[in-house]
């Protein structure tokens, strides 16, 4: 959906399109776990072992290459214009938007 296209619609039609988009998005979220489980079982059938790192291992990855490392600052600035925009985007990922994957 294009923002300009949506704005060009009459208000009543814009509302219908927005409601349909919301419904479609929620329906897709409901399928994520099912699709993930299907993929995991197909990988397992092929002999693949799925590994989930423990908290200590995750922390090692964060310490080694996480977003707070200073070498990321120039990249953040080149992509976003400044490092503070990254911080705002990161904060947004931690806020509850009301959607859940079920």
The pLDDT assigned to 102 comes to 75
DSSP 95: S
Query: Are 29 and 99 contacting, i.e. CB atoms less than 8 angstroms apart?
Result: yes
Q: What is the DSSP string of 69-87?
A: SGGGHHHHHHHHSSHHHHH
Per-residue pLDDT of the chain (102 residues; tens, 9 = 90+): 689 999 999 999 999 999 999 999 999 999 999 999 999 999 999 999 999 999 999 999 999 999 999 999 999 999 999 889 999 999 999 998 888 887
């Amino acid at each position: 959906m294009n923002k300009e296209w949506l704005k060009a619609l009459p208000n009543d039609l814009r509302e219908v399109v927005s409601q349909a988009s919301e419904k479609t998005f929620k329906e897709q979220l409901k399928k994520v776990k099912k699709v993930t489980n299907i993929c995991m079982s197909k990988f397992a059938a092929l002999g693949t072992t799925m590994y989930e790192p423990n908290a200590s291992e995750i922390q090692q990855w964060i310490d080694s290459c996480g977003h707070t490392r200073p070498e990321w600052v120039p990249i953040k600035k080149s992509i976003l214009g400044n490092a503070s925009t990254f911080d705002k985007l990161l904060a947004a990922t931690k806020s509850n938007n009301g959607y859940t994957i079920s």
